[in-house]
A and B are shown apart, each in its own frame.
Chain A
Amino acid sequence: MQDQEVIALIGQGKDQAAFKALYAHFPKVERLVRANSGTKADAKDVFQDALVIFHRRVRGADFTLTSSTSTFLYAICRNLWREELRKRNKVLTGWDAPETADEPADLTAMVAREGEFKQAEKALHSLGDKCLDLLKRFYLAKEPLMQIAQALGLAGEGAAKTRKYKCLEEARKRYRALAERDLVSNPQHA
């Protein structure tokens, strides 16, 4: 499938079809990760994180394809894996991954924020079903508070708003906790 077709699919919301096509690039990534102290599971995680980044990029504002998706994905994976190895305090001897010229400029920034977003996902997953359901209804389904109140058996719009605030605060608390833990074990270079 051509790059433009995949991007069109994402634009239409046909995510699963797009990802299935993008999986054609997985073997190359798997080789990269395994050649650099990684397991098959590591490769799968790295590749899936890269797919998420790609998807969010495409859906973001002002997206233009500057390099091929293959190059893009590969570059993200390489950076993600290198970052992961650094976190695991593995010494990078004989880093075996070719770099190419046409990579997205803000790759480093993208990868840096990636860790934060993954922690946010983790924090959200650790919430109770009801909190997560409320937040998904509000932020993803964009349901009005009144409708959420009815669906969840809450007294009214005010109750829904308060509950939403409490759930967000709890999510934030857990997210902060994960971020703190990460800072302690992975001191950032000045």
Chain B
Amino acid sequence: MRDELHLMELVDRYLDGVLDAAGATEFSARLSGSAELRLLVDDQRALREGLQRLPVRTAIMQAHRSWSWAKWGPQFGGAVVVAGLITGGVWYAQRTGHTEHEASPPQEQLAPLPVDSAQADSVHVDSVLIFGPPVKEAGDTTVIHQNEGVDAVRQHRADTILVLAPSGKKMRFVKDASGPGRDGSTSAPPDPAAPTVAPIDRQPSYPGGFAAMYAYLKANVYYPVNDTNQGTVTIGFDISERGAVVDPKVVESLDAACDAEALRVIRAMPRWTPAQSRGQWVPSHIEVPLQFKAKQPKGAPEKIN
């Protein structure tokens, strides 16, 4: 297997044109000596070209559709339909909370965001965030409800706070006494390792919105074979400041097989746009319920998956 893998990489490098002079010469020599290798390279060239064409085809189909509309639209009262589509589109966009101005972090570095301090004042406690994972053990806990506001969280004496989110979930957070307090008081020198409470100005988001996330989960969940359990598994996980899904854990369990499957799909999610707070990308915590309904196990596919 190792030899085949190595050859696959070599062919790709050859086709990319990144082999050095010596390597290229050697590979050309091998090619002229082996019809089988020539066939392999030709096939790989064709497959790579085929892949490159997939997005091009999509763009062509879209262009065809819009050209057809431009041609035939007026004749079929297209204006009415288009208006309906636009309204529907706006309504849908508002529902999923997807905004045009969402900055997405580039692959390697996340650029600093422009600071908008005006937003910081009016944050509800369900936006409370912790720099660091939520604490599982109970300390001296007090329940704070969502309408009490971030100030209430900051000024509370308790070290550990239980926050009641709109969904009804309770999440425990450790409060850092040296966090940015409204009254300006700080008790101890700030410990960089300790978690702090700060308002989230924008919640983390899945690329395409929550509708897209549920579509992704639905498309990728493989119901455990012979499992007829119905119910919900809730997975809690952190979204790092780079948007990666970190440390998914089962918050609400159904059974071992469904739990494991739920963890798998959550772990496999693509990068999110991280939460924003005060002009920074910050880590945050999310909980997602997944519904398992009794289903036939996916039939033996003709396709390789």
Partner of B304, one of A17, A22, A128, A140: A128
B50 within 8 A of A: yes
Chain B positions within 8 Å of A17 at CB level: 63
Partner of B43, one of A167, A170, A176: A176
Number of contacting residues on A, CB 8 A?
A: 48
Partner of A20, one of B63, B267, B304: B63
A26 within 8 A of B: yes
Provide the main secondary structure of the chain A interface: helix
Chain B positions within 8 Å of A56 at CB level: 49, 52-53, 56
A92 within 8 A of B: no
B286-305 near A? 1/0 per residue, CB < 8 Å: 00000000000000010111
Q: Are the CB atoms of A175 and B304 closer together than 8 Å?
A: no
Number of contacting residues on B, CB 8 A?
A: 38
Known: A16-B63, A51-B60. A117 touches B43 (CB 8 A): no
Chain B positions within 8 Å of A51 at CB level: 56, 60
Query: How far is B236's CA from A5's CA once the two chains are assembled, in angstroms?
Result: 50
Interface residues, chain B, with chain A CB atoms under 8 Å away: 1, 4-5, 8, 43-44, 46-57, 59-64, 66-67, 219, 244, 264-265, 267-270, 301, 303-305
> What are 28 residue pairs bridging A and B, where the CB atoms are less than 8 Å apart in the complex?
A15-B59, A15-B63, A16-B59, A19-B59, A19-B64, A20-B66, A23-B64, A23-B67, A48-B57, A51-B56, A52-B60, A120-B47, A121-B53, A124-B50, A126-B303, A129-B305, A131-B305, A139-B48, A140-B55, A150-B268, A151-B268, A152-B268, A165-B1, A165-B5, A167-B304, A168-B44, A168-B47, A170-B304
Interface residues, chain A, with chain B CB atoms under 8 Å away: 15-20, 22-23, 26, 44, 48, 51-52, 55-56, 116-117, 119-121, 123-124, 126-131, 135-136, 139-140, 150-153, 161-162, 164-168, 170-172, 175-176
Closest 3 A-B residue pairs measured CB to CB? Answer: A120-B50, A128-B303, A19-B63
